[in-house]
């Protein structure tokens, strides 16, 4: 059993996936894999630098501070100081959300590598293992056939913006990013199951329990 969880920004996909992992599902987070694995690959960093230049990397001062505080080696691996500056994901996100062609280019670079990581994880696991995979672009990329069940976590636009503001995203920027996504109504119509997450954690927890109960008997 492989469950694909999607939804809009700030709707609570990660919270729902965590609740499923607490019920015995192995969890894969597409965004986390991109952050921690794909965007750390030398070939990916080189392609991003060639496409966008140093504008989406930290300044030399920022890079030295972040590398020292994290204990991580600088990204890039060349003798050139500029090429060793770590990628600034916030700057990269601002760039690709501002221009559709840049976003599509980055997705074409990242997604094939992401899918390979998924495949490796799934093949290495016991056959009976149940999975929940968080995929923000599940429907946009036509990945429905990867999953036995697709679940969309949804909430009101006001709640989405409020949650994104709590993460430090200004309201105007949150609105812009939500607007650029596939409409939530489209995701709701295409999902096998919907979890409405405008209430508290207890409400979402109850819905998760109701979803999982029949799966235990399947």
> What is the reported pLDDT for 218?
57
Range scoring the smallest mean pLDDT among 35-39, 67-71, 116-120, 140-144: 67-71
C-alpha 149 chain-centroid distance: 18
Does residue 125 surpass a pLDDT of 50? yes
> Can you give the pTM of this predicted structure?
0.79
Domains, the chain, in order of start with CATH, read 1-25+130-218 (3.40.50.300), 40-129 (no CATH)
> What is the reported pLDDT for 52?
94
Q: Percentage of the chain surpassing pLDDT 90?
A: 60
CA distance linking residue 210 with residue 4, whole number of Å:
17
Binding residues: 10-15
Does residue 63 surpass a pLDDT of 80? no
> What is the reported pLDDT for 77?
43
> Over the stretch 33-52, which tens digit does the pLDDT of each residue have?
999 999 999 999 999 999 99
Does residue 170 surpass a pLDDT of 70? yes
> Over the stretch 129-162, which tens digit does the pLDDT of each residue have?
899 999 989 999 899 998 999 999 999 999 999 9
Rounded average pLDDT over 185-202: 94
Binding residues for ATP: 10-15
Does residue 97 surpass a pLDDT of 90? no
> What is the reported pLDDT for 25?
94
């Amino acid at each position: 059993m492989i469950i694909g969880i999607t939804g809009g920004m700030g709707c609570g996909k990660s919270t729902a996936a965590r609740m499923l992992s607490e019920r015995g599902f192995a969890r894969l987070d597409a965004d986390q894999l991109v952050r921690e694995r794909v965007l750390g690959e030398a070939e990916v960093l080189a392609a991003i630098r060639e496409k966008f230049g140093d504008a989406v990397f930290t300044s030399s001062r920022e890079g030295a501070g972040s590398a020292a505080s994290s204990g991580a080696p600088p990204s890039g691996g060349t003798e050139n100081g500029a090429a060793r500056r770590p990628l600034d994901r916030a700057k990269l996100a601002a760039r690709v959300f501002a221009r559709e062609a840049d976003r599509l280019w980055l997705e074409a670079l990242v997604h094939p590598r992401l899918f390979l990581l998924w495949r490796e994880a799934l093949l290495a696991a016991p056959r009976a293992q149940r999975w929940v995979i968080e995929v923000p672009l599940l429907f946009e990329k036509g990945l429905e056939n990867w999953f036995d069940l697709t679940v969309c976590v949804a909430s009101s636009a006001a709640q989405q913006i409020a949650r994104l503001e709590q993460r430090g995203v200004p309201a105007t920027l949150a609105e812009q990013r939500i607007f650029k996504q596939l409409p939530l109504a489209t995701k709701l119509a295409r999902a096998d199951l919907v979890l409405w997450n405008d209430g508290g954690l207890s409400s979402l927890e109850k819905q998760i329990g109701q979803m999982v109960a029949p799966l235990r008997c399947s």
